[in-house]
Structure 1
Amino acid sequence: MQPTSLCESIKRSAFLDVYRGTAVLLMIIFHFCWDLRNFGFVEFSIYDPFWVYFRSVILTLFLSAVGWSTYLVFTKKANPSFWKRDLKLFIAAIAISLATYLAMPNQWIYFGILHFIFIASLINRPIAKYPIFSATIGATIIVAYHATDWLLFPNAFSTITQYVAIPERTLDIVFPFPWIGVVLIGPLLGYLHLHKLPTPNNIIIVMLSFMGRYALPIYLLHQLVLFALVGSVKMVLNLAY
């Protein structure tokens, strides 16, 4: 979900674009199913293991691409500038918060994936040029999160909501752990030159590459289209019956 400007100064990797585009496609499928559920076309719980793991796959692809892309920028330029990229991401995150607050004030997004990527990028950037060190820290965080209770803070969210005027329910939230670990592992993928893997030339790859190249605008606009589409179909069916 990174802005296109992140890779403007370097030769783009077709494989990385497809990698990120796959995350975009899965995200669209996830949100389309959510819309179908929201308008009563299907019934399922988003807390079912399938949907929990589905979301985890999407986050893993997006967030590993963050660290991966940052490493590639450092390999091409000694002192790269990220301010344009950061500004676009910051504005996009604020726009998501504002739009969801106006649409659903009881569930607005105050720390979703865009907010997390913005913060995680700042954390990852100083060590992204040291991929093995970065990945070691990332892997340690992930293992510690799943194998121990050191990084579990069960009362943190409820405590924060007592002192900050934010709703207890939100449409999207990405907790720091273990996901910062995934971002920190990302540079290792660049160090291993996975971005140089060949990609076949067919319509599916072209589509995924396009989606990966323009992940941020697609993220910002896709749910508006999907929600309006499913809502319109529901309205037509209600009128017909």
Structure 2
Amino acid sequence: MSFSIYDPFWVSFRSVILTLFLTAIGWSTYLVLNKAKSPSFWKRDIKLFVSAGVISLATYLAVPDQWIYFGILHFIFIASLMIRPFCKWPISSALMGAVIVLIYHFTTWLSFPNAFSTITQYISLPQRTLDIVFPFPWIGIVLMGPLLGYLNWHKLPVPNFFGTHVLAFMGRYALPIYLLHQLVLFALVATFKMVLSHFF
């Protein structure tokens, strides 16, 4: 199969996925901080830290010339620490996030096109990586998350049917699903290829 990851469709598709992931970070953090008497994040922090480390180790062993050293899980770990002080002021947090996103898209102030190549010059990292998430504009998306909790979007009525329950299940177990989905997809593709090669 041959396709370009720079095709506008795939770039937009990735942006949608990242937006869903990252608004959920700020959103869920706001809910925990405002509903728990003594909120504790240490279990989640450890899970994210270990999972990010597993991703780095696995990709280093599998593809050492493109291993992931700061992908989506690494960014989520850092962002989940950074968002906590801002959750006390969800409206201000959202405005700050919106300003960051607007500045990124309409100016060059937060664009650092040579950052990747500069980093790899001074630190022994691969010239290419399977996944990398730069701080901008994505920290702005995280900052918008608390507003969704403040507006009680999680209390909006949703249809009660099988698909809703499936999505709710996936939301509750998002991290293990994320960690395992590549293995499942590779297995399915390999099986599909074997079946095709058998008949053609």
TM over 0.5: yes
Structure 1 CA distance for aligned equivalents of residues 131 and 82 of structure 2: 21
| Aligned equivalent of 1:193, options 142, 152, 156 | 152
Partner of residue 128, structure 1: 87
Task: Tell whether 2:71 aligns with 1:100.
Answer: no
Structure 1 segments unaligned to the other structure (5+ residues):
1-39
Q: 1:75 matched to which residue of 2? A: 34
Aligned Cα root-mean-square deviation (Å): 1.3
1:2-81 matches, within 5 Å, as 40=1, 43-81=2-40
Which structure has more relative contact order (CA 8 Å, sep 6+)? It is 1
1:234 maps to 193
Moved over 4 A (4+): none
TM-score by length of 1: 0.80
- The within-5 A match list for 1:103-122 is 103-122=62-81
1:181 maps to amino acid: G
Please give the per-residue CA displacement for 1:192-224, whole angstroms capped at 9, x wherever unaligned.
Answer: 111110111111111111111100000001110
Matched, 1:143 2:127: no
Aligned residues with identical type, % of pairs: 73
- Give 1:150 shift: 0.8
The one-character-per-residue Cα deviations of 1:79-138 (angstroms, maximum 9, x if unpaired) are 411111100110000001111111111111111110000001111111112101111111
CA–CA distance in structure 2, aligned partners of residues 61 and 69 of structure 1:
12
| Number of positions where the alignment pairs a residue of Structure 1 with one of Structure 2 | 200
Which amino acid letter does the alignment assign opposite residue 3 of structure 2?
A: F
Rounded to whole Å, the distance in 1 between the matches of 2:36 and 2:168 is: 24
Measured in 1, the distance between the counterparts of 2:170 and 2:51 equals: 17
